[in-house]
Amino acid sequence: MSRAGEYGELLDAVRGIRWPARRPIPGALPGAHHSRMRGVAPEFAEYRPYRQGDDPRRLDWRVLARTDRAVLRLSTDRAVLPTTLVVDASASMAFPLDTLGKYACARRLAVALGAVAHAQHDPVGVIIATGTGVRALPPRSRRGVVGEIAQAVDVGAGGGGSSFVEALRRAMSSDRVVLLTDFLGDAEPLLAAVRAYVARGGDAHAVHVVAREELDPPARAITAVDPEDARIARTLAPPTRAEYVEKFARWREELAREWRGAGAAFTMVVDDESPAHAVRRIVSASMAPVR
């Protein structure tokens, strides 16, 4: 299936999905998301007593007539949520070698999430962190940005460790950042950066991309080699397989706990999961209360 066909089906599957902000955003531009600003939008939010200097045209005359109280009618403003998708294209994402399943999963999620955000008139962009550097597409809300994102993520994965932390820092100017990575790089700096971002009011989403072969490696004995660090070469054989599975599971749980504790939404996606289904899970995770 060609990329166009592949993305076409995916975009059809995610049409209509709403991806609200996890908390009110400080944005001034009108959009789909709740804004911390109170304005004159039709959606009633609250009454405020009239103060000297308020526009008298905003008085609620009905309330005044009924209660002889001069109050102003306030409503919730909606704002746009610039979203940046940060895609990890390091060597560890180029796994399995024959299908590049992890990166394929990450790029499909990036295109799908970009489409969902764009449908809500949110500016959306993408930053791809490869082994050789960072390739960025700033958030835009014009037509065709999803196609541009699709073209951008087609760069492919590989080439050693990525500058993912740098890519994240560049993305933190957006109000929403989505990390599509396997978290096998510099975990601590990344977590620290996200903590700071969330503390500043940013909306962080962490999508942990995992390959099925990493969860359930083949039974035959192999010398497992880390593609980003060839010094790590260990024998994965039936006697050690169970221990590997347990250690990896524990690490995933710890990872999820840390990231959620840092205030990010955390979702694990296996590369053989349906992208549309994964998008729904990612989006629903953003509806969880922010800690």
Question: Minimum Å distance from CB 96 to another protein?
Answer: 8
Rule CB under 8 A: choose which of 101, 139, 202, 227 binds another protein: 227
Site track 60-99 with another protein (rule: CB under 8 A), x = hit: -------------------------------xxx-x-x--
Rule CB under 8 A: choose which of 67, 132, 151, 235 binds another protein: 235
How far is residue 85's CA from residue 208's CA, in Å, rounded to a whole number?
13
Beta strand 222-226 pairing with 229-236:
antiparallel
Site track 14-53 with another protein (rule: CB under 8 A), x = hit: ----------------------------------------
**SS3 assignment, position 223:** strand
Instruction: Pull the structure tokens for residue 53.
Output: 């200097």
How many residues make contact with another protein (CB under 8 A)? 34
Q: Which of 169, 152, 187, 149 is nearest to 266 (CA)?
A: 187
- Subset of 167-206 contacting another protein (CB under 8 A): 182, 184
Q: Is 94 exposed, middle or buried (0-12, 13-18, 19+ CB in 10 A)?
A: buried
- Contact predicate 74/47, CB 8 Å: yes
Q: Which of 285, 249, 251 is nearest to 266 (CA)?
A: 285
How far is residue 16's CA from residue 59's CA, in Å, rounded to a whole number?
37
Question: Minimum Å distance from CB 46 to another protein?
Answer: 51
The answer to whether residue 272 forms part of the interface with another protein (CB under 8 A) is no
Q: Scanning the structure block, which residue is given the tokens 């902000």?
A: 21
The answer to whether residue 161 forms part of the interface with another protein (CB under 8 A) is no
Rule CB under 8 A: choose which of 217, 260, 270, 280 binds another protein: 217
Of all residues in the chain, what percent are helix, strand and coil, respectively (each to 5)?
Answer: 40, 30, 30
- Contact predicate 57/238, CB 8 Å: no
Question: Minimum Å distance from CB 149 to another protein?
Answer: 25
The answer to whether residue 239 forms part of the interface with another protein (CB under 8 A) is yes
State which residue, 232 or 287, has the beta carbon closest to another protein.
232
**Positions that interact with another protein (CB under 8 A):** 91-93, 95, 97, 102, 182, 184, 211, 213-214, 217, 220-228, 232-237, 239-240, 243-244, 247-248, 251
